[in-house]
Amino acid sequence: MKWFVLRRLLLMIPAALGVLTLVFFLIHLVPGDPVDLMLGESAGVADRENLRHALGLDQSLPRQYEHFLRGLLRGDLGESFFYREPVARVIAERYPATAELAVLALIVAILIALPVGIVAAARPYTLWDNGAVFFSLLGVSLPNFWLGPLLILVFALKLSWFPVSGREGFASVILPALTLGAGMAGILSRMIRGSLLEVMGEEYITAARSRGLSEAAIWLRHALKNALIPVVSILGLQFGALLSGAIITETIFSWPGVGQLLLSAISSRDFPLVQGCILVIAFTYLGVGLLADLLYAWVDPRIHYGRAS
């Protein structure tokens, strides 16, 4: 197991570096000059050149990339053009909000998908199952940029149950978490249904019925436990998708997380901050994937990650 974890940790480095390299060169191809955005078009030539030199933008692109890599080796992500603070500090202030939103969205998705998937599997090809199929398609099809404003109009503006935006207590995270978790709930409910139907045809389920166990005990103690094993491996990938989807959701609800920070950094051409946000998102995605693999091995004793794997 330790060799598997060590290998995965080492593979994270080139994967994250590849993402950062791509982002580094693409962000410099985006039209717009950060100096113009910071000083305005009426600034003098001397002021522009001095600021460009202070930010290191007067160097060639390969030289800037080399400087960026040297900073990474020292654990330095650079200084934000806009905030004039270390990028690591700016991201550290926003990361807890994104983590909170992603975790609660995952909880919302599980709380919705689990009963829907179980009911659909318990009554296959019935009205209940068709309703679950419709729900899953609806959850996957509705984009965040449409569902979010709809929830705001209904539950925030019309009913006044929740705040419109911001992060001011638990009530303010309900609508963003529901927006972010709806699509994941649709995917998980279909997976749970399919996995349960497959498990219910196994011989140990027949043996459990022959021993006189109740249907509730068979479904909850035997079928559901084994049906969730393949679902665990997908949760890691879906949780990583929540982080990328949070960019839109955080913008809609003015949620002060890394997603909103990344979008504002792109708009202001804050190159160091964009690169730092992408690095954090990439490592979080890879780290969650590793944890999902380890959890999969813990849930299923048949899985072993040895030195040869």
User: Can you list the positions of beta strands (E) in 84-215?
Assistant: none
pLDDT at 305 over 60: no
Range of the domain at 192: 87-299
Q: In this structure, what are the phi and psi dihedrals at residue 259, rounded to the nearest 5 degrees?
A: -60, -50
How far out from the chain centre does Cα 20 lie? 18
Q: What's the pLDDT band for 174 if we cut at 50, 70, 90?
A: very high
What's the pLDDT score for residue 129?
83
Beta bridge partners of 86: 79
> Is 34 contained in some domain?
no
Q: What angle do CA 265, 261, 96 make, to 5 degrees?
A: 150
Q: Per-residue pLDDT averaged across 201-226, rounded?
A: 77
Distance in angstroms between the alpha carbons of the first and the last residue of the chain: 9
pLDDT digits (tens, 9 = 90+) for 128-167: 888 888 888 887 788 888 888 999 999 988 988 898 888 8
Q: Per-residue pLDDT averaged across 160-179, rounded?
A: 88
What is the pTM assigned to this prediction? 0.81
- What letters, b where the CB count within 10 A reaches 16 and e where it falls short, cover 272-293? bbbbbbbbbbbebbbebbbebb
Structure tokens at 9: 């940790």
CA distance linking residue 149 with residue 165, whole number of Å = 11
What's the pLDDT score for residue 4?
66
**Amino acid in the structure at residue 61:** L
Asked if 231 contacts 191 with a C-beta cutoff of 8 angstroms, the reply is yes
> Is 3 contained in some domain?
no
Whichever domain contains 253, its CATH number is 1.10.3720.10
> Is 237 contained in some domain?
yes
Q: Per-residue pLDDT averaged across 115-124, rounded?
A: 85
pLDDT at 308 over 50: no
What's the pLDDT score for residue 303?
59
In Å, the largest CA–CA distance within the chain is 87
Structure tokens at 133: 């199929």
Q: What is the CA radius of gyration of the chain?
A: 24
> Is 60 contained in some domain?
no
User: If 0-12 CB within 10 Å is exposed, 13-18 middle and 19+ buried, where does residue 303 land?
Assistant: middle
pLDDT at 309 over 60: no
CA distance linking residue 128 with residue 130, whole number of Å = 5
pLDDT at 22 over 80: yes
What's the pLDDT score for residue 153?
92
CA distance linking residue 110 with residue 112, whole number of Å = 5
Q: How many domains does the chain have?
A: 1
> Is 11 contained in some domain?
no
Q: Per-residue pLDDT averaged across 69-88, rounded?
A: 87
> Is 111 contained in some domain?
yes
What's the pLDDT score for residue 304?
58
> Is 265 contained in some domain?
yes
Q: What's the pLDDT band for 1 if we cut at 50, 70, 90?
A: low
Asked if 156 contacts 231 with a C-beta cutoff of 8 angstroms, the reply is no
Which residues are within 8 A (CB) of 293 and not within 5 positions of it... i.e. 6 or more apart?
Answer: 4, 8, 233, 236, 305
> Is 289 contained in some domain?
yes
pLDDT at 90 over 90: yes
Q: Per-residue pLDDT averaged across 282-304, rounded?
A: 71
CA distance linking residue 80 with residue 176, whole number of Å = 27
